Amino acid sequence: MLSIKNLHASIGDKEILKGINLEVKAGEIHAIMGPNGAGKSTLASIIAGNENYEVTGGEISLDGEDLAELAPEERAHKGVFLSFQYPVEIPGVSVTNFMRTAINETRKANGQDEMPANEMLKLIREKSELLEIDRKFLSRSLNEGFSGGEKKRNEIFQMAMLEPKLAILDETDSGLDIDALRIVANGVNKLKSDKNAIVVITHYQRLLDYIVPDFVHVLYNGKIVKSGGKELAHELEEKGYDWIKQEQEA
Amino acid sequence: MDLKEKLVSSFMAFEERVDVHSELHDVRTAALKNFENKGFPSKKEEAWKYTSLNAILKNDFTVFPKQENTVQYSDVKKYFLHEIDSYKVVFIDGIFSSHLSATTHEGIDVCLMSSVLNKPKYKEVIDTYFNQIANKEESLTSLNTAFANEGAYINIPKNKVADKPIEIMYFSTGSEAALLVQPRNLIIVGENANVQIIERHQSLNENAVLTNAVTEIFAEKRAIVDHYKIQNDNLTANLIDNTYVSQKEESSVAVNTFCFGGNLTRNNLNFYHFGEHIVSYLNGVTIIGEKQHVDHYTLVQHATPNCESHQDYKGIFSDRATGVFNGKIYVEKEAQKTNAFQKSNNILLSDKATINAKPQLEIFADDVKCSHGCTIGQLDETAMFYMQQRGIPQKEAKALLMYAFTNNVIESIKIPELKQRITKLIASKLGVKMGFDL
């Protein structure tokens, strides 16, 4: 589904990604771990099409289609979803209205009619129940005055609404208490199918107890330096990232 | 003959026509003299540094329209807040239109200024209020005073609540190639009284118009006044709005200015405090493009202790539009425990658009909280990326962000139907049809 080949990217003069290779197939969950500053969030942003970064080499494709020339919204229309580490506040636009706009723009781009209002309401009800979100919450302005946990839960609610092909969860566990973490993870697991794929970006192993990855990759200094199964996450939890750093510098 | 000469020489004829024997004669004569001495303001004056009237004054303005023009309600219905019932005071080319108006004298007065100025029964009110808070030194205000004859008169007596909003509407039909109109509004809101007013100036075709309006608002003790100015005129229309607000203790007055249209707009908005625990709100949303020019010039004179003022102005400027925000807060020595806040946030959407923002704080009391913040920026890129990531195309994302930017001012609109109207106006100004009613 997602294929990244020898990806190089920089911001200004600073090279952040130095040759990433990653293959994610439908039905898989991949975890990308690594110390702060390794380039994890940059990688997520670049897959989603953030134009602040310059791709200087390599390629990213989704189901064989090169994403290089596509704007962020075009990538979204093709099924790429990024759960933000720091979701943005939009005063005056309710969660419901924002979702309605997002869904209908996506449908329009894919040559479909707008979703009928009753269908939309049904979908909202279903997905808000999945994430145990109070209906009142949905009429509040998007992310405005939300706690860290509420913001993250709202991100996964949006993911549930949009049903993406490829979901990238960037530090979704940060700011979540243990109960919220369980709800969010449960939501993600229910959304998982053999037709979609999930990339979990995290600093800690904690989230991976709930969203169990098929593959774990360690990103360090702009490169994937180690890949393995879920046991790699436990090893990192025990030994910390210094072990990787030493190995790399040796 | 230039416009100033034309105005000065037509003064006698004007007074003959209205009522030369009235005691207002002295007020008018003094005002004309001040205008004659000072003339139209020029860019040499600090207060007019960024706004030039020169090009506009070159028009050969008709000072008094020749005939009464009839306008059908169906042609202008869209300019009214027709979704709800309202009192209406409507003028066409400066002349009162009885068939478009819905005035009242039952419990409250909503009627026309000319009848009040001339009737003996209103003499006391006129003596007490007329031209009392307007700045007698300011030349354009003086010009209006000299020719003051028509406009809206609103008087909400003590303990009365106006049961529906009042719409003051000035249409110009363009029957003259260029028309100068000088409406004069007097709004008196008694103790514990409450009123909502919507004011609009609208030209119905592309002929040049210059409106030099003066509005005096008197809010007595504990009065509550919500005044909305909708400025969405044609690109050939020019507006100089001079509004003076006098507030007594515990009163609350909000003037909300929504400025989308017109060629040149200058809003002189002045608040004066006479009593403690007064609250003043000055809100504005400006969205302009092409070569439009909008100048907000505000003054809040804190003269008494324990009062508050809140100014919140949002501006979005595209193309070659120019904006000015000059906000003056004056805190006198006696005005301890003043809370005075001022914000002017601006977004420039083009390299050629400009905004001149100038906060002026003069504080002579030592125990006060005052703040001002002017920001000038572009749209937040992270927010844009966030919305695009959710599938919202760039153009719509931009519009949503700009809407969000103006949101806290929109939220202050207390008439739901008006709020919806303004929201739609903003969406259309931003050039989008959203998937939902904003």
Residue B205 lies in a domain: yes
Average model confidence (pLDDT) across chain B:
93
pLDDT of B438 reads: 42
SS3 labels along chain B: CCHHHHHHHHHHHHHHHCCCCCCHHHHHHHHHHHHHHHCCCCCCCHHHCCCCCHHHHCCCCECCCCCCCCCCHHHHHHHCCCCCCCEEEEEECCEECCCCCECECCCCEEEEHHHHHHCHHHHHHHHHHCCCCCCCCCHHHHHHHHCCCCCEEEEECCCCECCCCEEEEEEECCCCCEEEECCEEEEEECCCCEEEEEEEEEECCCCEEEEEEEEEEEECCCCEEEEEEEECCCCCEEEEEEEEEEEECCCEEEEEEEECCCCEEEEEEEEEEECCCCEEEEEEEEEECCCCEEEEEEEEEECCCCCEEEEEEEEEECCCCEEEEEEEEEECCCCCCCEEEEEEEEEECCCCCEEEEEEEEEECCCCCEEEEEEEEECCCHHHHHHHHHCCCCHHHHHHHHHHHHHHHHHCCCCCHHHHHHHHHHHHHHCCCCCCCCC
Across the interface, whether the CB atoms of A73 and B411 are under 8 A apart is answered no
Q: How many domains does chain B have?
A: 2
Identify which of B381, B389, B411 has the shortest CB distance to residue A48.
Answer: B389
Q: Return the percentage of chain B with pLDDT > 70, whole number.
A: 97
Q: Which residues of A touch B394 (CB under 8 A)?
A: 71, 73
B266 and B415 housed in the same domain? no
Whether the predicted pLDDT of B435 surpasses 70: no
Across the interface, whether the CB atoms of A91 and B404 are under 8 A apart is answered yes
Whether the predicted pLDDT of B20 surpasses 70: no
pLDDT less than 70: residues of chain A: 250
Indicate the helix (H) or strand (E) that contains A168: strand A166-170
- Interface check for A91 against chain B (CB to CB < 8 A): the answer is yes
Across the interface, whether the CB atoms of B390 and A52 are under 8 A apart is answered no
Across the interface, whether the CB atoms of B386 and A100 are under 8 A apart is answered no
What is the average per-residue pLDDT within B400-408?
89
Name every residue in B having a CB less than 8 A away from some CB of A.
Answer: 380-383, 385-394, 396-397, 400-401, 403-404, 406-408, 410-411, 434-436, 438
Domain that holds residue B130: 3-274
What is the average per-residue pLDDT within B366-384?
91
Q: Which residues of B touch A86 (CB under 8 A)?
A: 382
B259, B274, B289 — which closes off a domain?
B274
Residue B223 lies in a domain: yes
- Best to test chain B binding among A70, A78, A93, A97 (most B CBs inside 10 Å): A93
- Interface check for A70 against chain B (CB to CB < 8 A): the answer is no
pLDDT of A239 reads: 84
- Interface check for A11 against chain B (CB to CB < 8 A): the answer is no
B274, B295, B329 — which closes off a domain?
B274
Identify which of B390, B391, B410 has the shortest CB distance to residue A92.
Answer: B410
Residue B108 lies in a domain: yes
Across the interface, whether the CB atoms of A73 and B436 are under 8 A apart is answered no
Across the interface, whether the CB atoms of A73 and B394 are under 8 A apart is answered yes
Whether the predicted pLDDT of B108 surpasses 60: yes
Whether the predicted pLDDT of B208 surpasses 80: yes
| pLDDT tens column, B296-307 | 999 999 999 999
pLDDT of A247 reads: 80
What is the average per-residue pLDDT within B56-80?
86
Across the interface, whether the CB atoms of B390 and A76 are under 8 A apart is answered yes
Give the residues across from A202 on adjacent strands: A33
B405 and B269 housed in the same domain? no
Nearest CA-CA distance, residue A78 and chain B, Å: 9
Across the interface, whether the CB atoms of A77 and B391 are under 8 A apart is answered yes
Whether the predicted pLDDT of B255 surpasses 90: yes
Q: Which residues of B touch A67 (CB under 8 A)?
A: none
B18 and B163 housed in the same domain? yes
B395 and B269 housed in the same domain? no
Of residues A246 and B143, more confidently modeled? B143
- Interface check for A92 against chain B (CB to CB < 8 A): the answer is yes
Q: Return the percentage of chain B with pLDDT > 90, whole number.
A: 82
Superfamily name with CATH number, domain A2-249: P-loop containing nucleotide triphosphate hydrolases (3.40.50.300)
B256, B274, B292 — which closes off a domain?
B274
What is the average per-residue pLDDT within B389-397?
93
